[in-house]
């Protein structure tokens, strides 16, 4: 039974003081843990006892809140002593480890502090004999061990009884006036209770009167082992515990020599003579004599030192002891993998960082390495490239192993990067419920459809050579150009098989629909074009020019933006111009910017960021730019005004500014701006912005996102069929009569139309032209949508079956229609002959805000199925091979959601769900994923690496870097969400407590709740989708290192499973990946050479008309070969220019005498541009781009007057140059 402990810090302090104040423990510091162990030993308390002394008890007993303290022994009741108890507490370290408290008894504080600096607190495993009995007696009041009985008395009760009696004595010695009677009675009552408790405990353990009490005479004798050092030799003898001396002969006899080797015995005398001096060392609580020059090390510490020494030896010998780099396979893999984070940089930079790491290691550890050793230990650039090829081969084998027996989807896209046409090929397959998208390889190919098809087949053959039983079942690509997916697919169908499916990129389809509608209804972009497209381009180009001047920063643009707002707020002239030129736009802006409670108040003061040039062919640039321009069009206008006052005429920025002002000042019928009218170009912007809000923005954004059930953006094919119906219905509602009027997004458009005059003609841009414009816009958009979207998602039977992976109700009725058609074959063939229910259901995942969409089942299914025959669909393997589960799914009472097992009932639909993921969900609906790989190709090619290495790097980037970026970002987002949720919970508790304390009335709380509804919605949205940046620094290095460990382990496991086969395939793949002979570009090169050889084998060559020139040698204007337009002056040469225009028979829009001088010269430029462009050789700039009429600087004269000037102008130009030179010299 363990001894009971003192139940107060006072008793613990007294125990420790009596322990440390006498004997050899005096004058030394000991840790709180060592003192606790000693107290447990003295009290015979087992180490695993529930109640025992601990370091926390000792530390708490002496805790003063200070780092160090000195307490006189007199405070502990010890008289006639000037010594102190000294405590020292170390600070908590950075890793959060608990602090250490050391305690000791000293003569004074100076000795104590010296011990704290010089002495490490030793462990206490021995108790001095002269202290043990006193300590035990003090701890529990029992007799010394020589006289104690075997009875386990209640030590605590006895001690407390003594304390109570002492307290009574103290109270009785005091004056009766100063001691309350109640306090004295309470103390007496406590004594009686303790006496009774001690008496009862004594009865429980009676002592036999006949029991023999141990004495010094009859106590049994015990023996102890005496270990000693005699003249440098160790020995052991056994002696009685009461023996007072040991003879020399006994000590000599006890010397042990069995452990000595013959060499040691032979050299003992000489060595003992050298080791004449010995010192005492404390080892694990015991003292030992150690010869001089020797240190004592614990065996576990010695093993650790040996292990560290081996590592240092290995480091210096293995890495730096050779004439070249000697990395292990794992190290090679590690270097190649980490180098992929610098795939856009050179290998030289990567290796210099490796060398720097060696150098830093040498500096910090002091290995004593020479620079030559560091250079030898660093691999060369060629070696690193070989590592990359090997890593690509190993990761490819990983992918092939994972892909065995699985279907996959193929994506492809071509682009010209670095002047070379590249074809990027990617595949997608399933890994459980996860979709994997990886780049297969990159080829340098042409744009010919046959070349693209052959390059794809070449890559697929290599894939299926290693990934056995894998099969391409779907393909996607762009729908335009020579590599258009419909044309390529026709060439691939023989290889891919009948049931391979293809999809054109949905993003391209949406953008093409928008581009065709805008160009047809509103006009193209282009310098000199008075179109809304050119207006928004000019505004963004002007803003980006300011950013460019500030070296890519927004400083200058922000300055102009703030300056425009500041001056517009106080300048009456600017305000009058704004009211006249901008009308309602300025009124709305002025009201919002002066209302702090307005929704857009802060946004109007903040300059926009991330401005991109709005191009219809570039995704998500055109409509977002219009939204920015409309919000800040007032400020954009006056930024342009500021620039025209600051910038020199003719400078590019001045041209953009004047162009912007000119386009914003255009009015219907070319009238001057008046109060209350609207800019027709800005009104078109308002229409497009409304269309973006009402339709385009939602569906284009959805096309960029992932199916919420999966993990990759753009992969939503199971939802694509029903989404096609939802989008078409929304588009039809807008384009129908009164559709725009019923949609609130177009309210601003109709308000702007009020400022468009109804008089005039359509060509003047009157109100009728806007009605015609919107009708044309929707007609073109609808027709293009049908051509590029509906043609596939609605009219292709092999794609319509994807609906079985979409909404559960629609999927169920689709299968019921198939069953009905199969049962009534030849009678029921299409949707018109089947009665779909006329019910409304809600389907999910078709709104960016998360809201569900209501659809009518009959209307939706009739739209989707149309006139298609069920017999064609029933043959489809997706239906045919899963007919058993599909038919059970159709007969279920409740619609079966394949991704919610709670709706399955007693049937297991796992196989059907797996089929949806592995054969439908893997088919991307848009090509953005492969286009991002094209950008990776551009990054990898920055260092002008070869085609083979570039292809490997893009593959490794898609296999390693991209998944790591995505998953690390998801983990970081989860942490941010958890932190926000925790903060929100704390704030909620704080608010609740605050309301409870303040007692806000319920009615007022309700009003406050209503006012904060919109803010709460915003906060919930922010919490649900936090915008976090990718990981970096420590977090990124840690995560990437963990990823390497995982990939390294997987590759090792792959190698261990089949070592010979793995090495053989790896070697074969390395050779294929590192050689351009396996690339399709080599095949194209051979074909090109064969064609050239065949063409040159003809006996007679073909002569073309373009080989003959119809013109002579070019003679510059300064020599008299042409007329330089800039040399013509209005006052001297206007008559000659008029006659030149007449001689060229140029059509005029107004009489020549009414035209401006600049307009006349522009007529000559345009006419000369037409003539030069019509030549067989065309008209091009040195970089190959076509020249515009504005770039025409010279004309070949036609009229006699201009020909006469042609002879005079060289002299005039020479005189002008002479005057300029003379002026320069004199100046």
pLDDT value at residue 1019: 43
pLDDT surpassing 90 at residue 803: yes
pLDDT surpassing 50 at residue 122: no
pLDDT value at residue 802: 95
pLDDT value at residue 155: 47
Q: How many angstroms separate the CA atoms of 905 and 868, rounded?
A: 32
pLDDT surpassing 70 at residue 1017: no
Which tens digits make up the pLDDT trace of 149-192? Answer: 334 444 444 555 555 555 555 555 554 445 566 666 656 665 55
Average pLDDT in the 1090-1115 region?
78
Q: Of 603-612, 1038-1047, 1114-1123, which one has max mean pLDDT?
A: 1038-1047
Q: How many angstroms separate the CA atoms of 31 and 920, rounded?
A: 69
Label residue 831 left, alpha or beta by phi (over 0 means left) and psi (-120 to 50 means alpha).
Answer: alpha
pLDDT value at residue 1044: 94
Q: How many angstroms separate the CA atoms of 653 and 657, rounded?
A: 6
Q: What is the 3-state secondary structure (H, E, C) of 159-228?
A: HHHHHHHHHHHHHHHCCCCCCCHHHHHHHHHHHHHHHHHHHHHHHHCCCCCCCCCCCCCCCCCCEEEEEE
Buried-exposed string 1036-1059: b where 16+ CB fall within 10 A, e elsewhere: beebbeebbeebbeebeebbeeee
Looking at residue 2, what DSSP letter applies? P
Task: At 406, list the tokens.
Answer: 């699985």
pLDDT value at residue 1020: 42
pLDDT value at residue 1018: 43
pLDDT surpassing 50 at residue 621: yes
pLDDT greater at residue 295 or residue 792: 792
pLDDT surpassing 70 at residue 195: no
Q: How many angstroms separate the CA atoms of 816 and 822, rounded?
A: 10
pLDDT greater at residue 156 or residue 295: 295
Of 221-230, 674-683, 1011-1020, 1057-1066, the least confident: 1011-1020
Count CA within 13 A, CB hemisphere, residue 80.
Answer: 0
pLDDT band at residue 716, thresholds of 50, 70 and 90? very high
Share of the chain above pLDDT 70, in %: 83
Greatest alpha-carbon span in the chain: 156
pLDDT greater at residue 209 or residue 398: 398
pLDDT band at residue 216, thresholds of 50, 70 and 90? very low
pLDDT surpassing 90 at residue 444: no
Helices (H) and strands (E) in the chain, counts: 49, 17
Q: How many angstroms separate the CA atoms of 1013 and 1021, rounded?
A: 12
pLDDT value at residue 134: 47
pLDDT value at residue 181: 61
Task: At 199, list the tokens.
Answer: 């008496």
Query: Are 768 and 762 contacting, i.e. CB atoms less than 8 angstroms apart?
Result: yes
Of 41-50, 53-62, 465-474, 553-562, the least confident: 41-50
Query: Are 222 and 240 contacting, i.e. CB atoms less than 8 angstroms apart?
Result: yes
Q: Which residues, listed in sequence order, are joined to residue 30 by a DSSP beta bridge?
A: 103
Cα dihedral 19/23/28/32 (nearest 10) = -20
Please name the residues in contact with 242: beta carbons below 8 A apart, sequence gap of 6 or more.
Answer: 221
Q: How many angstroms separate the CA atoms of 708 and 887, rounded?
A: 26
Average pLDDT in the 409-420 region?
79
Please name the residues in contact with 919: beta carbons below 8 A apart, sequence gap of 6 or more.
Answer: 407, 473, 474, 878
pLDDT surpassing 90 at residue 406: yes
Place of tokens 């497009």: 688
Q: How many angstroms separate the CA atoms of 102 and 14, rounded?
A: 16
Beta-strand relationship, 501-504 and 471-477: parallel
Which tens digits make up the pLDDT trace of 247-270? Answer: 877 887 888 877 778 777 766 666
pLDDT value at residue 581: 87
pLDDT surpassing 90 at residue 1131: no
pLDDT value at residue 1213: 78
* 1201: exposed, middle or buried (Cβ count in 10 Å: 0-12, 13-18, 19+): middle
Evaluate if pTM is beyond 0.75: no
Q: Kindly report the average pLDDT of the chain as a whole number.
A: 81
Average pLDDT in the 1043-1068 region?
93
Q: Which of 955, 966, 1043 is nearest to 388 (CA)?
A: 955
DSSP string, 1167-1217: HHHHHHHTSTT--B-TTSPBPPGGG--EE---SHHHHHHHHHHHHHHHHHH
Average pLDDT in the 457-484 region?
85
Average pLDDT in the 1042-1071 region?
93
pLDDT surpassing 80 at residue 960: yes
Alpha helices in 920-1012 (DSSP H): 928-940, 947-956, 962-998, 1002-1011
Return the percent helix, strand and coil in the chain, to nearest 5. Answer: 60, 10, 30
Task: At 1151, list the tokens.
Answer: 């009489």
Label residue 107 left, alpha or beta by phi (over 0 means left) and psi (-120 to 50 means alpha).
Answer: alpha
Of 122-126, 696-700, 909-913, 1108-1112, the least confident: 122-126
Q: Which of 164, 22, 14, 8 is nearest to 77 (CA)?
A: 14
DSSP string, 488-542: HHHHHHHHH-TT-EEEE-HHHHHHHHHHHHHHHHH----TT--SHHHHHHHHHHH
């Amino acid at each position: 039974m363990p001894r009971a402990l003192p139940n107060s810090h006072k008793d613990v302090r007294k125990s420790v003081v009596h322990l440390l104040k006498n004997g050899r423990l005096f004058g030394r510091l000991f840790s709180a843990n060592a003192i606790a162990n000693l107290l447990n030993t003295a009290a015979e308390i087992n180490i695993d006892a529930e109640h025992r002394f601990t370091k926390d008890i000792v530390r708490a007993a002496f805790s003063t809140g200070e780092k160090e303290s000195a307490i006189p022994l007199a405070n502990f009741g010890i008289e006639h002593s000037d010594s102190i108890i000294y405590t020292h507490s170390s600070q908590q370290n950075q890793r959060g480890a608990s602090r250490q408290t050391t305690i000791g008894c000293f003569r004074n504080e100076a000795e104590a502090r010296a011990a704290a600096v010089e002495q490490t607190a030793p462990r206490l495993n021995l108790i001095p004999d002269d202290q043990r009995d006193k300590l035990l007696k003090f701890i529990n009041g029992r007799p010394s061990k020589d006289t104690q009985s075997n009875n386990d008395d209640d030590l605590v009760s006895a001690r407390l009884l003594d304390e109570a009696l002492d307290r009574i004595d103290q109270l009785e010695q005091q004056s009766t006036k100063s001691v309350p009677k109640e306090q004295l009675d309470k103390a007496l009552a406590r004594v009686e209770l303790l006496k009774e408790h001690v008496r009862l405990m004594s009865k429980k353990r009676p002592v036999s009167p006949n029991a023999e009490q141990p004495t010094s005479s009859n106590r049994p004798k015990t023996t102890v082992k005496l270990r000693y050092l005699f003249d440098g030799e160790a020995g052991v003898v056994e002696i009685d515990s009461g023996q007072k001396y040991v003879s020399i002969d006994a000590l000599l006899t006890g010397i042990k020599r069995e452990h000595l080797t013959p060499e040691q015995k032979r050299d003992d005398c000489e060595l003992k003579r050298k080791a004449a001096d010995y010192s005492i060392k404390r080892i694990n609580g015991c003292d030992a004599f150690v010869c001089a020059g020797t240190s004592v090390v614990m065996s576990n510490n010695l093993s650790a030192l040996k292990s560290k020494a081996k590592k240092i030896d290995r480091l210096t010998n293995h890495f730096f002891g050779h004439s070249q780099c000697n990395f292990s396979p794992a190290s090679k893999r590690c270097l190649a993998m980490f180098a992929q984070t610098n795939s856009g940089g050179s290998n030289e930079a990567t290796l210099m960082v490796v060398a720097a790491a060696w150098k830093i290691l040498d500096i910090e550890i002091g290995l004593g390495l020479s620079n030559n050793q560091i250079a030898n230990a660093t691999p060369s650039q060629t070696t690193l490239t070989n590592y990359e090829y090997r890593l690509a081969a190993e990761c490819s084998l990983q992918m092939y192993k994972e892909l065995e027996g699985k279907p996959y989807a193929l994506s492809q896209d071509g682009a010209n990067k670095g002047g070379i046409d590249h074809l990027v090929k990617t595949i997608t397959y399933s890994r459980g419920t996860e979709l994997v998208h990886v780049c297969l390889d990159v080829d340098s190919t042409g744009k010919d459809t046959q070349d693209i098809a052959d390059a794809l087949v070449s890559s697929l053959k290599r894939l299926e050579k290693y990934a056995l039983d894998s099969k391409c079942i779907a393909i996607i690509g762009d729908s335009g150009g020579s590599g258009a997916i419909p044309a390529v697919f026709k060439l691939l169908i023989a290889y891919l098989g009948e049931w391979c499916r293809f999809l054109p990129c949905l993003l391209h389809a949406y953008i093409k629909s928008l581009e065709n509608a805008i160009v047809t209804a509103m006009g193209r972009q282009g310098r000199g074009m008075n179109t809304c497209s050119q207006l928004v381009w000019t505004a963004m180009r002007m803003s980006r020019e300011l950013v460019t001047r500030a070296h890519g920063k927004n400083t200058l643009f922000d300055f102009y933006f703030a300056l425009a707002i500041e001056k517009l707020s106080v300048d009456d002239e600017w305000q009058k111009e704004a009211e006249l030129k901008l009308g309602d736009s300025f009124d709305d802006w002025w009201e919002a910017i002066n209302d702090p409670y307005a929704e857009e108040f802060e946004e109007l003061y903040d300059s926009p960021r991330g401005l991109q040039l709005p191009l219809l062919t570039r995704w998500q640039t055109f409509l977002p730019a219009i939204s920015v321009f409309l919000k800040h069009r007032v400020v954009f206008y006056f930024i342009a005004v500021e620039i025209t006052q600051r910038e020199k005429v003719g400078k590019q920025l001045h041209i953009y500014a004047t162009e912007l002002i000119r386009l914003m000042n255009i009015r219907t019928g070319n009238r001057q701006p008046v109060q209350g009218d609207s800019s027709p170009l800005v009104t078109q912007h308002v229409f497009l912005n409304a269309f973006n809000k009402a339709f385009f923005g939602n569906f284009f954004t959805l096309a960029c996102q992932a199916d919420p059930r999966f993990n990759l953006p753009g992969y939503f094919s199971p939802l694509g069929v029903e989404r096609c119906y939802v989008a078409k219905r929304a588009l039809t509602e807008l384009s129908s009569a009164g559709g725009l009027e019923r949609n609130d997004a177009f309210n601003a458009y109709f308000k702007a139309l009020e400022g468009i005059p109804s008089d005039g003609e359509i060509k003047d841009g009157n109100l009728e032209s806007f009605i015609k414009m919107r009708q044309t816009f929707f007609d073109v958009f609808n027709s293009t949508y049908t051509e590029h979207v509906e043609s596939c998602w609605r009219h292709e039977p092999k794609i319509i079956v994807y609906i079985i992976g979409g909404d559960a109700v629609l999927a169920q009725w689709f299968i019921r229609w198939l069953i009905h058609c199969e049962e009534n074959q030849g009678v029921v063939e299409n949707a018109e002959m089947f009665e779909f229910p006329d019910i409304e259901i809600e389907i999910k995942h078709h709104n960016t805000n998360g809201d569900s969409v209501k659809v009518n089942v009959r209307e939706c299914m009739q739209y989707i199925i149309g006139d298609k025959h069920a017999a064609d669909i029933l043959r489809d393997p997706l239906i045919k091979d899963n007919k058993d589960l599909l038919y059970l799914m159709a007969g279920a009472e409740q619609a079966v959601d394949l991704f919610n097992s709670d709706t399955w009932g007693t049937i297991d639909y796992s196989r059907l769900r797996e089929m949806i993921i592995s054969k439908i969900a893997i088919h991307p609906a848009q090509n953005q994923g492969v286009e991002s790989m094209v950008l990776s190709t551009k990054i990898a090619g920055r260092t002008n690496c070869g085609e083979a290495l570039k292809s490997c790097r893009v593959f490794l980037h898609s296999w390693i870097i991209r998944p790591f970026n995505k998953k690390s970002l998801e983990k970081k987002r989860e942490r941010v969400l958890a932190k926000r949720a925790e903060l929100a919970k704390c704030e909620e508790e704080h608010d609740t407590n605050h309301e409870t304390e303040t007692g806000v009335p319920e009615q007022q709380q309700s009003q406050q709740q209503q006012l904060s509804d919109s803010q709460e919605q915003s906060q919930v949205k922010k919490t649900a989708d936090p915008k976090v940046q990718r990981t970096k620094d420590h977090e990124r290095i840690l995560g990437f290192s963990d990823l390497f460990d995982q990939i390294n382990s997987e590759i090792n496991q792959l190698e261990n499973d089949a070592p010979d086969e793995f090495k053989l395939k790896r070697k074969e793949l390395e050779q294929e990946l590192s050689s351009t002979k396996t690339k399709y570009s080599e095949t194209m090169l051979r074909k090109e050479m064969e064609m050239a050889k065949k063409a040159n084998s003809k006996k007679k060559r073909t002569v073309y008309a373009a080989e003959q020139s119809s013109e002579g040698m070019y003679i510059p204007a300064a020599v008299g070969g042409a007329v330089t337009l800039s040399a013509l002056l209005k006052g001297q040469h206007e008559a000659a220019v008029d006659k030149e225009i007449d001689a060229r028979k140029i059509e005029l829009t107004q009489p020549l005498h009414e035209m401006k001088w600049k307009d006349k010269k522009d007529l000559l430029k345009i006419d000369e541009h037409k003539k030069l462009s019509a030549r067989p050789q065309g008209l091009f700039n040195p970089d190959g781009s076509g020249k515009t009429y504005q770039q025409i600087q010279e004309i070949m004269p036609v009229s006699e007057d201009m020909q006469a000037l042609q002879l005079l102008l060289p002299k005039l130009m020479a005189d002008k140059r002479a005057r300029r030179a003379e002026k320069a010299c004199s100046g």
